[in-house]
Amino acid sequence: MPELPEVEVVRAGLDPAVTGGTVTGVTVLDQRALTRHLGGGSHFEATLTGRRFVGAARRGKFLWLPIEGEDESLLVHLGMSGQMLLRAPGAARERHERIRLDIVHPLHGDLAIVFADQRTFGSLAIDALVATADGAAGGWGTDAATVPQQVAHIARDPLDPAFDEDAFSARVRRKASGIKRVLLDQTVTSGIGNIYADEALWAARIHPETPAASLTSSAVTRILLEVRAVLEKALAEGGTSFDAQYVNVNGQAGYFAHSLNAYGRQGAPCPRCGTPIVRESFMNRGSHYCPKCQRQR
């Protein structure tokens, strides 16, 4: 599933293309792409046509395009394989295309935004905007203190300017679960998935099953520093791509996979000590760590 860096790369690519753009047409090819939308395809098409976007915002793994003059937005969740692609008007249909928006932009002219999704776990929706609990901007890419209603329960991500480090540390240290499970809890902090949790914990030298409540405040601070470092590096490298499913708005893959130290490297030597990286089953996925550098205590 795309994590914060991958979704932020998509948001940044969409922003100049959609800001000020007016929707001139909507084509829903697959109703499964509207699982988060309260109405059907006809309602989605009719409601969105003629609306003007004022930007592209993100919190955690969720994107939204606020609509001018309305307390509503176009909510985007990429699921496991969703893509938001910018295409020329009238471009050939993508292989897994589900929804197409035709846009006219005052600077860029006509263009198409295509939502393609191979596994069909992603979704678009028109969703009401509600006030943020802390009164700060909703997320990256917006100054408005609002978020889509379906995103209101999602915590701020570690790169958000309004992220509260003290509150994060306190919440982590109240959890009895293993620290990796806590990092993946999107109500504690958002945007971190399996890849970046493994990478941050490797960098912090902390075993993924270490009970969060047993960590000192300095250990939590170290984890947060490493989480931010790995997210920022992944952002700079365009995200992590293992196959053709994650791409940016132009269909290009990220290359952070070449920088991974733990995730997906089972059996390979730890870059720090040379001990083979191990993989253990974790929540229907896997945890990757160095048994020497990340000893469980």
- 285 noted as active-site residue: yes
Secondary structure (3-state) at 70: coil
DSSP state letters, 127-154 = EEEEE-TTSS--SBT--SSEEEGGGTTS
- 173 noted as active-site residue: no
Residue list for the binding site for DNA: 96, 119, 175
Q: Would you tell me how many other CB atoms lie within 10 Å of the CB of residue 273? A: 10
Cβ neighbours of residue 35 closer than 8 Å, sequence gap 6 or more: 123
- Beta bridge partners, 66, equal 73
Residue list for the binding site: 96, 119, 175
Secondary structure (3-state) at 82: strand
- 16 noted as active-site residue: no
Q: Round to whole Å and give the CA distance between 154 and 149.
A: 10
- 61 noted as active-site residue: yes
Structure tokens at 277: 């990286």
Using alpha carbons only, give the angle 39, 40, 41 rounded to the nearest 5 degrees: 130
Structure tokens at 20: 């000020």
Q: What residues act catalytically? A: 2-3, 61, 285
